[in-house]
């Protein structure tokens, strides 16, 4: 197998790991695809690119459209055209076509946005998942990485040179949208000021005029500022990330504790009072999850459990044990009804364990940042027993107190709280979404905004600006006017 197949979306698709639609529909050269009508503008674009152009009139359009979304909940929005790029030149031609023909463009890579914010009812969707090259410079601890590279694959490639980068917690998430929206990543508290995007030292971006530009702190610094957090509102297509990498840990040492739901307040107090005193390289999160096959008629304490997960990024076992000692000996862990202790883990094990919690199903999610998780978890704890989603999982992650660089990524607090809702039956979707909207209305007054990558942009588009500071939101709008005066790229979802 060629190296790039190990860390790109192509191998995963071909292996059938993402199989909600016919696999061929996610890969260029699909046998059921017919070329755009001869003489049409779409046919002219197809002739200029090595990738694939799909329009609404094509019989395979709907399969392609659904393939753009990672999960089974398929947003009912239909762009006029889907362009699957296989090179940066393809991206440039697609952007030029959109500009010339008055089509607004959006970009997708892995389709992991639970809001499917990249899918719009008009214009062009540019799929850049095939841009999956990786070049590593071990001496400078840097890497040039294409947007289609999976987080798990990036870790595997960097480990070959003893390096690491704070990729997404779910290994099947490509780095593109994840980094552009900020990136709540592995060990980011130690490595990158709490958000992975601050490990991005430069980008190569196709701007609305179809030109390729490099942006960094010294070259096109305003574009660089926007790309570090601008996410789905970015006015361009990033085709390569220049990353600062770090020495890989010798071991990811940790424990997982299963606690009764009655310990929710105690675990939250532990997160508030003890976790901030630990070494920055110790990542602690907890999630509340329903116990399988338990009736909804049972009391909450019999239906839910708490999973407290601890991972220390250490050079060896001895350092790992030292870093987690305060947790191992803490009274809250003595409440555990089950535990996996002294886990000598690796990136492979971490990703394998984490991905098991995100199977192919119907998903939605939302999030907030808070300075103190106490009140937020009280509100969530009271609401959770009435949640209509068969599987709901609130999660609390300590991301640390940080002094962050100036960037579009400007909403942040020490605690990240997300709620994920999963269902199988179509009838569960509407009530699950309604429950989430009502819950986050209650949480909004105590939140310091939300994380754009895991925010219900469709359910509460009026709160999208709260994912940014007022100053950053205004500057993004100003830069959009400067760089995209004719509006080639769609704005944030739900924003005029």
Could you read off the pLDDT of 267-291 as tens digits, one per residue? 999 999 999 999 999 999 999 999 9
Could you read off the pLDDT of 424-447 as tens digits, one per residue? 999 999 999 999 999 999 999 999
Residue 15 pLDDT level (bands cut at 50, 70, 90): very low
Helix (H) or strand (E) holding 363: strand 362-370
**C-alpha–C-alpha distance, residues 52 and 45, integer Å:** 9
**C-alpha–C-alpha distance, residues 103 and 97, integer Å:** 8
Question: What's the pLDDT score for residue 238?
Answer: 98
The Cβ-side half-sphere exposure at 345, using a 13 Å CA radius, reads 22
Across 147-211, the runs of DSSP E, i.e. the strands, are 163-164, 200-206
Q: Among residues 410, 8, 104, 26, which one has the least CA distance to residue 231?
A: 410
Q: Which two tokens stand for residue 27?
A: 């890969």
Largest CA distance in the chain: 73
**C-alpha–C-alpha distance, residues 490 and 496, integer Å:** 9
Contact by Cβ (8 Å): 237, 210: no
Question: What's the pLDDT score for residue 349?
Answer: 85
Question: What's the pLDDT score for residue 33?
Answer: 55
Q: What does the mean pLDDT of the chain come to?
A: 92
Percent pLDDT > 90 in the chain is: 86
Secondary structure of residue 4 in the 3-state scheme: helix
Q: Among residues 306, 446, 454, 445, which one has the least CA distance to residue 374?
A: 446
Could you read off the pLDDT of 205-257 as tens digits, one per residue? 999 999 999 999 999 999 999 999 999 999 999 999 999 999 999 999 999 99
DSSP class of 249? P
Residue 351 has pLDDT above 70, yes or no: yes
DSSP class of 476? H
Compute the average pLDDT of residues 323-331: 97
Compute the average pLDDT of residues 336-345: 95
Q: How many CB atoms lie within 10 A of CB 2?
A: 8
Q: Among residues 169, 168, 176, which one has the least CA distance to residue 148?
A: 176
DSSP class of 404? P
Fold of the CATH domain 251-467: Vanillyl-alcohol Oxidase; Chain A, domain 3 (3.40.462)
**C-alpha–C-alpha distance, residues 136 and 363, integer Å:** 35
Question: What's the pLDDT score for residue 357?
Answer: 67
Contact by Cβ (8 Å): 178, 262: no
Task: Locate the domains of the chain by residue range.
Answer: 251-467
* Residue in this structure with the two tokens 């009274």, named with its chain if needed: 331
pTM score: 0.93
């Amino acid at each position: 197998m060629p190296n790039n197949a190990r860390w790109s979306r192509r191998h995963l698709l071909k292996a059938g790991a993402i199989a909600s639609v016919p696999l061929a529909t996610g890969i260029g050269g699909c046998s059921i695809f017919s070329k755009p009508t001869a003489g049409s503008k779409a046919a002219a674009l197809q002739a200029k690119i090595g990738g694939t152009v799909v329009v609404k009139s094509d019989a395979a359009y709907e399969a392609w459209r659904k393939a753009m979304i990672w999960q089974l909940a398929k947003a009912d929005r239909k762009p006029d055209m889907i362009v699957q790029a296989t090179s940066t030149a393809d991206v440039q031609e697609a952007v030029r076509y959109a500009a010339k023909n008055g089509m607004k463009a959006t970009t997708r890579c892995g389709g992991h946005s639970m809001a499917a914010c990249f899918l719009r009812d008009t214009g062009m969707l540019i799929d850049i998942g095939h841009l999956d090259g990786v070049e590593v410079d071990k001496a400078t601890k840097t890497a040039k990485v294409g947007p289609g590279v999976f987080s798990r694959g990036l870790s595997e490639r960097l480990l070959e040179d003893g390096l690491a980068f704070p990729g997404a917690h779910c290994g099947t998430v490509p780095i593109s949208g994840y980094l552009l929206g900020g990136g709540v990543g592995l060990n980011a508290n130690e490595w990158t000021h709490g958000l992975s995007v601050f490990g991005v030292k430069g980008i190569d971006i196709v701007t609305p005029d179809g030109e390729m530009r490099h942006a960094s702190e010294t070259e096109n610094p305003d574009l660089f500022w926007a790309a570090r957090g601008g996410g789905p509102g970015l006015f361009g297509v990033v085709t390569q990330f220049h990353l600062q990498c770090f020495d890989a840990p010798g071991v990811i040492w940790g424990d997982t504790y299963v606690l009764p739901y009655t310990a929710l307040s105690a675990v939250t107090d532990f997160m508030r009072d003890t976790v901030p005193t630990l070494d920055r390289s110790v990542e602690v999160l907890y999630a509340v999850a329903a116990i399988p096959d338990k009736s909804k008629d049972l009391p909450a304490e019999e239906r839910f459990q708490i999973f407290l997960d601890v991972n220390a990024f250490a050079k060896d076992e001895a350092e790992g044990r030292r870093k987690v000692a305060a947790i191992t000996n803490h009274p809250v862990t003595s409440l555990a009804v089950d535990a996996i202790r002294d886990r000598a883990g690796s990136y492979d094990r971490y990703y394998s364990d984490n991905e098991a919690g995100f199977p192919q199903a119907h998903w939605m999610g939302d999030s907030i940042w808070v300075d103190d998780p106490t009140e937020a978890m009280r509100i969530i704890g009271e609401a959770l027993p009435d949640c209509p989603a068969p599987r709901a999982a609130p999660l609390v992650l300590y991301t640390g107190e940080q002094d962050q660089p100036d960037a579009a990524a400007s909403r942040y607090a020490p605690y990240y709280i997300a709620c994920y809702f999963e269902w199988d039956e179509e009838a569960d979707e509407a009530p699950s979404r309604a429950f989430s909207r009502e819950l986050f209305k209650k949480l909004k007054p105590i939140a310091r905004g939300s994380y754009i990558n895991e925010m219900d942009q469709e359910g509460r588009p009026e709160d999208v600006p709260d994912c940014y500071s007022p100053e950053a939101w205004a500057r993004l709008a100003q830069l959009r006017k400067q760089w995209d005066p004719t509006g080639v790229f769609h704005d944030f979802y739900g924003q005029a």
